Amino acid sequence: MKSEKEKSFMQLYEPVHANFEKFCKARVYGEMDFQDLMHDTLLIAYKKFDKVIDPKAFLSFLFGISIRVLSNASKKNKPLLHNDEAMALKISQPNDQTDKKTDVTLLYEALSKLPESQRESIILYEIVGFSVREIAELHNAGESAVKQRLARGRQQLITLLTETKEEIHLKKSVV
């Protein structure tokens, strides 16, 4: 039988699960397995669940924990995952077409090359759907700073993805 804490935790978690999973998949590319990040984050969140004051802030609570988990993992120099087909399959949905899987993999690879603040802002805004105000609150930054991170991150993504596309075309023309 579930305890009251478990029931309360699951009532808050179930509606945000999809957005939390999207965030983890996009944020961890090349650093660790997204399922490991989700698991570690949820364990910590459950232990600290009594500190959640506003249920509306639960998703932000999870994001904050996952960002710290990733930061701690990189400080401990955990081995990086290799960019291989298995990683691409974990990132995309199982029913997606091959082209979409490739596009998602290229996008996540490009995202992983951005500075952390830009990467997180873009993931939260474009993939998870947070507003600029919500991201500013989560990062303890001004809204103008978040807008600047988004603009610079988008510009870098365009550059990275354009370069990648050109490299792919060059490889195809050589073959």
65 assigned to some structural domain: yes
| Closest-CA residue to 7 (of 46, 57, 64, 51) | 46
- Flag whether 120 is in a domain: no
Q: Is residue 71 situated within a structural domain?
A: yes
pTM of the predicted structure, to 2 decimals: 0.61
Q: Is residue 150 part of a domain?
A: no
pLDDT at 22: 87
- DSSP-assigned letters across all residues of 97-130: -HHHHHHHHHHHHHHHTS-HHHHHHHIIIIII--
pLDDT by 10s per residue, the chain, length 175: 578 888 988 999 999 999 889 888 888 876 778 888 899 999 999 999 888 888 888 888 898 898 888 888 766 654 444 444 445 545 544 544 566 677 777 888 888 889 988 998 998 888 888 889 988 988 889 999 999 999 999 999 889 888 876 776 666 666 5
| Residue ranges making up the domain that contains 8 | 1-81
Residue 154 lies in a domain: no
- Structure confidence by residue, pLDDT tens digits, 119-149: 989 988 888 888 899 889 888 899 999 999 9
- Which long-range contacts link 43-50 to residues 24+ away (Cβ below 8 Å)? 44/69, 45/9, 46/5, 46/9, 49/5, 49/8, 49/9, 50/5
Residue 77 has a pLDDT of: 52
In a domain? residue 107: no
Which pLDDT score, from 0 to 100, does residue 53 have?
80
Q: By CB neighbour count within 10 A (0-12 exposed, 13-18 middle, 19+ buried), where does 5 fall?
A: exposed
Angle (CA) 173-30-20 rounded to 5° is 120
pLDDT of the residue at 100: 67
Query: For the chain, how many structural domains are there in total?
Result: 1
Question: What is residue 79's predicted lDDT score, i.e. its pLDDT?
Answer: 45
- How high is the pLDDT of residue 152? 94
Whole-number Å distance between alpha carbons of 163 and 122: 20
Q: Is residue 162 part of a domain?
A: no
Rg from Cα positions in the chain: 18
